Chains A and B, each alone.
Chain A
């Protein structure tokens, strides 16, 4: 069946460090891929998405490229801020959203 696997956290970085959160997927066909972010006490918010191979989704300095060769959709940001501290979820759309287990990011000043 379809599934999403994310790197385990927590990921702890200093402010202005480079961020990578790995995400790989298993799916039939080429589903749309997403990154959602969940801030403490809040619901999920869509961060970015890509709908086909080689598409790059971007938002608020975050980027992710849909790689069908490696079935990956890694999230990157060049310089993280304390306000980026949150839980990040990778997901694919297969009639419904299928989420990974989430990766907690802690950014220290």
Chain B
């Protein structure tokens, strides 16, 4: 049983570019949450998707957007990249209504130069 998988594992972009990160949830899970973890900090909630809609959103600008597909996989898009967007981006999956049981992927390390 595959857990949460994220791609790519590492990514290097330059300021102003756009990036798309991908996540496949654990088998049987239908909810995907995205977190940003800056170096030396705890993860911060970006948003959560369920039934292909954004259900909750953290304190992140509109440059951060997402999508969920019918197979429950998800994408995180970041436009107009800033140096401060450099971080580890974590995807977590769960069953709707069971937000306590989150399973995390290993993350995508994004470096913005």
A binding-site residues for B, Cβ under 8 Å: 4, 32, 34, 41-46, 49, 51, 89, 91, 93, 95-102
Q: Judging by beta carbons under 8 Å apart, are A102 and B41 in contact?
A: yes
**Which of A42, A44, A49, A101 contacts B100 (CB under 8 A)?**
A49
User: Number of contacting residues on B, CB 8 A?
Assistant: 22
A41 vs B35: C-alpha distance when bound (angstroms): 16
Q: Is the interface of A mostly helix, strand, loop or mixed?
A: strand
A43 touches B42 (CB 8 A): no
User: Residues of B contacting A93 with CB < 8 Å?
Assistant: 99-100
- Which of B14-22, B61-69, B74-82, B102-110 touches A? B102-110
A91 to B56, CA, bound (A): 18
CA distance A36 to B40 in the complex (A): 15
Please name the residue on chain B nearest to A1 by beta carbon.
B59
Q: List chain A residues, Cβ under 8 A from B105.
A: 43
Interface positions, chain B 39-58, Cβ under 8 Å from A, are 40-45, 48, 56, 58
Contact between B56 and A101, CB atoms less than 8 A apart:
no
Given A95-B99, A96-B58, A96-B99, does the pair A45, B104 have CB atoms closer than 8 Å? Answer: yes
CA of A10 to CA of B51 in the docked complex: distance in angstroms?
41
Report how far A34 CA is from B43 CA in the complex, Å.
Answer: 14
